[in-house]
Amino acid sequence: MKIDQNENYFWLNPSELITEGTKLLIAAHPHSDFAINYTTGEALLNAAYYYTEMQGDFVLRTKVSHEFKSVYDACALMALVDDTHWAKLCFEYTDIHTHSVVSVVANGLADDANGVDIMGNTVWLQFARKGNIFSMHYSKDGECYKMVRHFSISCGEMLKVGLVAQSPLGEGGLFAFEAARLESKTLSDIRNGI
């Protein structure tokens, strides 16, 4: 199912959504994020999130890009149970000034794991569910995907699944999600993303 502007998609922290051909541009709010500090427990859950409700297994895939203006600016794919149980796969401008594929999993508190560094401002991301097992993958060409993370999170059959634009330390901007598709599909090999 192509992700676009339709009645099956909703906003958490509403923002501007612009369609340009196969590309969705989401405006990130200034100083916005989905994060729970694992030292203090302090939460910031104000990033623009464009989602649909999804039952059972799924595969969410899109090509993402942005301008990497401020530290922690990111396009992200997210699955949300509630405010303290969620996971996101980001293409992020890190605090060590790399363009990295970053994963965050919240099970009460949220962790933060920098992954592979990408040269350039564009990468493909994939987020999949099989039962209560999830996998995150990236691809440079949209064909060959490599695993970022494989994990479990407590959740029911129904989740909120969609796209996040965040700018925790910055003033926001437009973040691009191209050829975004969400399918009700079970991967045969969730670790390998196929």
Domain containing residue 132: CATH number: 2.60.120.200
Which segment of 33-37, 87-91, 166-170 scores lowest on mean pLDDT?
Answer: 33-37
Question: Above 80 in pLDDT, residue 1?
Answer: no
How many domains does the chain contain in total? 1
State the pLDDT confidence band at 4, using cuts at 50, 70 and 90.
Answer: confident
Question: Is position 1 within any domain?
Answer: no
Q: How far is CA 158 from the centre of its chain?
A: 17
Question: Is position 3 within any domain?
Answer: no
69-91 mean pLDDT: 97
**For position 100, what pLDDT does the model report?**
98
Domain that holds residue 116: 10-183
Q: How far is CA 151 from the centre of its chain?
A: 15
**For position 154, what pLDDT does the model report?**
86
Question: Is position 194 within any domain?
Answer: no
Identify the DSSP state of 192: T
Percent of the chain with pLDDT over 90: 89
Q: Considering the entire predicted model, what is its pTM?
A: 0.96
Q: What are the residues whose beta carbons fall under 8 Å from the beta carbon of 113, sequence distance 6 or more?
A: 102, 103, 104, 149
25-30 mean pLDDT: 98
Classified as helix, coil or strand, 4 is coil
CA-nearest of 6, 148, 137 to 60 is 137
- Backbone dihedral angles phi then psi of residue 149, each to the nearest 5 degrees: -160, 150
Q: What are the residues whose beta carbons fall under 8 Å from the beta carbon of 29, sequence distance 6 or more?
A: 13, 15, 46, 47, 48, 167, 172
54-76 mean pLDDT: 97
Question: Is position 4 within any domain?
Answer: no
Question: Is position 96 within any domain?
Answer: yes
